[in-house]
Amino acid sequence: MTATLEVVRCGPMVSVQDGGRPGWSRYGIPASGPVDRLAHAVANTLVDRPADAAALEVSDGGLVVVADRAVTLAGASVAIEIDGVELGWSVGVVTVAAGARVSVRPDSGARWGYLAAAGGIAAPSWLGSAATHLVSGLGGGVLGAGDVLPVDGAVLRSELDGGVAEVELSVGGPVRVVLGPQDRHFGDEVVARLRSSPFEVTAQADRMGMRLDGPSLAPADALAIPSEPVVRGSIQVAGDGVPTVLLADHQPTGGYPKIATVISCDLDGLARRRPGAALRFDAVGPDEAVTAARAEAARRRRLLRALASPDRTIGQRLFRRNLIGGADPEV
Amino acid sequence: MTVGRVRPVGDAAVLVEVEGVDPDDVWRRVRALDRAFVDAEGVVEVCPGLVNLLVHFDPLVTDHAEIAETLRSVDLSRAPSVTPRDHVVDVTYGGSAGPDLGAVARAAGLDVDDVVRRHVAASYRVMMYGFAPGYAYLGGVPTELQLPRKETAVRDVPAGSVIIANDQCLVTTLTMPTGWWVIGRSSTPILTPHDNRPARFDVGDRVRFRAVMP
C-alpha cells in the first residue's frame, strides 16, 4: 500500500537522508547522509527499517506534513505535534490518522531531528543513494512546501506507538580528537589552547560544518598549504583563528590547516549540540581513537538491535533488556 | 621509495605525504600510489590530492599502523598503468556567458580574441577535484592569462561557467559565488554519469576547450 506525505510547510535545511554515499570524494562528492547518524538510525530502527534507510532530516525551521492515509512514523531528537497536540517525547513512534497535521522540529536539546516511516520513504537516488547534498540538491532532495513524499509499502504498526525514554541521545563530556594532520604548524601554545580551553557552538552551523567560538587558534606561522583532501570531523582553522568542524556535506578538499580531527564516534554528539552549548576537546592518540570507534560501534549495534526486536512493544523490550544507555558489560 | 610521512587523521583515515622537489613528479607518484593502493585490506576509499593522498579505512577492520605498514610495502613500479583519456569541452566565450573576458584581456594586454585563442590552444590536465561535486581543477592556464583571484566573490555565477584563476581553470557544476574570472560558459555536462563514473573526467585526464558560437 502506498501512502503519501504532503509537505504543507517547511523551513530551510530539511532534506531526505539515507546512510550516505561514501566512495566518490575523488570526484568532489562528499558522502552526505545524516548529520546525526545515530538519531537517524534510531528513527529508522524504531519502525523496523534498515538503519541506513531514507528518512527526513529536520532543522530548526521545522516541517509540517499531512498523510493521505494512516501511517506509522518514528522520530528521534524531535518534538512532534499532531493537530496541535504535543506528544511529549523526543524519541518514539506514533501512528497518525489520514489528514492529521504532523508538525516536526528538533527537540529543545538537539540541532537536527529525524522522521522515519514504517514501510519506508521513497526518494530519488543519485549514485545509489538518496542522501541529499544540500547545496546542489542532488540526491533524495531538499524539501519544500507542496512536495509529496511516497511511503511505499506503508504499514500500520500502532502496536509500536509510544515514547522511548530510555534512549539517551543527549550530549555531554569532552569531544575526543586526534591531533593533526597539521597541528605542527600551529605551535605548542595554540595546541595547548585547543586542549584546555572551553569552546562554544555558534549559530553558524549547517550540513557543511559548524563554527566554534573560543580563543583564537590562529597558526603560529601564516602558511599556505596546497588544497588537500579533508574528512568529516576535520577541525580547520581559517586565517582569523576561528575553528570550523566539517560535517556531512563538507567540501571534499580544503586549503586551511587542520589542527585536529574529531573522531567519528563523537561527531554525532557534537553536531547535535545547539548554539550556545559549551564543549571541550580531549586529545587522544590514534590507537585510543580506534579502540573508541570499536567500542562505540558495538554499543550502537546493541542499542539498535534492542530497538528492532519485532515481537514486543518498545517499552516492554527496553524494560526487559535494560540495554539502552546503561551499563555496558562488554566493553 | 617513496612515501613520506603517514599522518593520522582522526580514527578512520591517514594522510600520506609524497615528497619530492618537482611538483609534476610528486603528483605523478600520488596518482601511482592511488592506483596501487586502492584494493588493500580495510581500505574504504582513497582520495588523491596534489602532494598527498587521503586513505579512509574501516577502524573495525584495521588501524593506522597496519595501513602505514601496507603503504611502506607498496611498489610503485608495479602500479597498474592507466592511459589518460582526452576530452573536448565546448565553450561560448565572452558576452553574457563570459562577463570577465574583457577584464582578463585588459590585464593580459591582449585583445579578447587573442585570449580565447590562447585559452583554446592550451592543453589542460585534471589535477584533482575539490570544492563541490564535479569541480575538476584543470591545470595548464597559459602564463600570460594567469591572474590572481578577485578581491571579492561574485554571487550567483551560473552552473557551466568556465572560470580561471592563477594556473587553474574549471567548469562549474553549480550556481555559486566565485572569485575566479568568468570567461565563458559550457554546455558540456561535467556531472553526468559516464562509464560508471559520476563525472566526465578522471584525475590525470587531458582536457582541451573548443570555442563555439552562442
Strongest mean pLDDT among A161-165, B13-17, B25-29:
B13-17
For the stretch A117-170, pLDDT in tens is 999 999 999 999 999 999 999 999 999 999 999 998 888 998 889 998 777 776
Set of chain A residues whose Cβ sits within 8 Å of the Cβ of B45: 22-23, 25-26
Determine the angle formed by the axes of helices A286-308 and A264-272, rounding to 10 degrees: 70
Instruction: Tell if the CB–CB gap between B11 and A286 is shorter than 8 Å.
Output: yes
Give the mean model confidence (pLDDT) for residues A28-57: 97
Give the nearest partner residue to B63 out of A26, A254, A287, using CB atoms. A287
Question: What is the structure's pLDDT at A313?
Answer: 58
Looking at this predicted complex, what is its ipTM? 0.93
Q: What is residue A111's predicted lDDT score, i.e. its pLDDT?
A: 96
8-state DSSP, B59: T
Q: Does B51 touch chain A (CB under 8 A)?
A: yes
CA angle A64, A68, A70 (to 5 degrees): 95
**Chain B residue at shortest CA distance from A252:** B130
Sort out which chain B residues have CB atoms less than 8 A from A292's CB and list them: 11
Q: What is the pLDDT of residue A321?
A: 43
Place of cell 500502532: A158
Question: And the C-alpha cell for A96?
Answer: 497518525
User: For residue A263, which residues of chain B lie inside 8 Å, CB to CB?
Assistant: 10-11
Contacts A251 to B, Cβ<8 Å: 130-132
- May I ask the CATH class of domain A175-284? mainly beta
- Whether residue A328 has pLDDT greater than 50: no
Give the nearest chain B residue to A291 (CA atoms): B59
Q: Which of B12, B52, B60 sits opposite A228 (nearest CB)?
A: B52
**Amino acid identity of B4?**
G
Does the beta-carbon distance from A178 to B131 stay under 8 Å?
no
Closest chain A residue to the Cα of B193, Cα to Cα = A127
Measured CA to CA, the distance from residue A29 to residue B176 in angstroms comes to 16
B7 reaches A (C-beta below 8 A): yes
Q: Who has greater pLDDT, A240 or B37? A: A240
Which ranges of A250-285 would DSSP assign to H, the alpha helix?
264-272
Q: Identify whether the C-beta of residue A75 lies closer than 8 Å to the C-beta of residue A120.
A: no
Select the residue of A30, A230, A264 nearest B11 (Cβ to Cβ): A264
Local structure of residue A185 (DSSP, 8 states): G
pLDDT higher than 90, residue B3: no
Q: What angle do CA A14, A15, A17 make, to 5 degrees?
A: 135
Mean pLDDT is lowest, of A150-159, A216-225, B39-48, B130-139, for: A216-225
CA distance B82 to B75: 16
Domains of chain B: 3-78 (3.30.1360.40), 86-211 (2.40.100.10)
What average pLDDT is seen over chain B?
92
Q: For an interface test with B, which of A21, A25, A27 has the most B Cβ atoms less than 10 Å from its Cβ?
A: A27
- Nearest residue of chain A to residue B202 (CA atoms): A27
User: Under an 8 Å CB criterion, which residues of A touch B?
Assistant: 22-30, 127, 133, 135-136, 138, 177-178, 180-181, 226-231, 233-234, 251-254, 258, 261-265, 286-287, 289-290, 292-294, 297
Q: How far is A103 from chain B (nearest CA, A)?
A: 32
Interface test with A, best of B6, B9, B11 (most A CBs within 10 A): B11
Q: Does B27 touch chain A (CB under 8 A)?
A: no
Note whether A47 and A116 are within 8 A (CB). yes
Q: For A283-312, write each residue's pLDDT tens digit.
A: 999 999 999 999 999 999 999 988 886 544
Chain B residue with minimal CA distance to A289?
B11
Domain definitions of chain A by residue range: 3-163, 175-284
Q: How far are the Cα atoms of A5, A15, A66, A143 from residue A71, in angstroms, in the given order?
A: 9, 20, 10, 19
pLDDT of residue A223: 65
For A230-271, the pLDDT digits (tens) are 999 999 998 889 999 999 999 999 889 999 999 999 999 999
Nearest to A124, CA basis, from A103, A106, A143: A143
Which of A26, A226, A265 minimises the CB distance to B48? A26
| Residues in chain A closer than 8 A to B132 (CB atoms) | 28, 135-136, 251
- pLDDT given at position A322: 45
Structure-model confidence comparison of residues B121 and A223, the more confident one: B121
A136 to B131: CB separation less than 8 angstroms, yes or no: no
Q: A2 with A214: CB under 8 angstroms?
A: no
Q: B61 in contact with A at a CB cutoff of 8 Å?
A: no
Model pLDDT for residues B72-112, shown as the tens digit of each residue: 888 877 777 888 999 999 999 999 999 999 999 999 999 99
Q: How far is A179 from chain B (nearest CA, A)?
A: 8
Q: Would the CB atoms of B129 and A135 count as touching at under 8 Å?
A: no
pLDDT of residue A310: 58
Distance in angstroms (rounded) separating the CA atoms of residues A117 and A40? 12
pLDDT value for A327: 40
Contact between A38 and A77 (Cβ < 8 Å)? no
How much is the pLDDT for A255? Answer: 85
Residues in chain A with CB shorter than 8 Å from the CB of B203 are 26
Q: What integer best gives the mean pLDDT of chain A?
A: 91
Residues of A in contact with B174 (CB under 8 A): 135-136
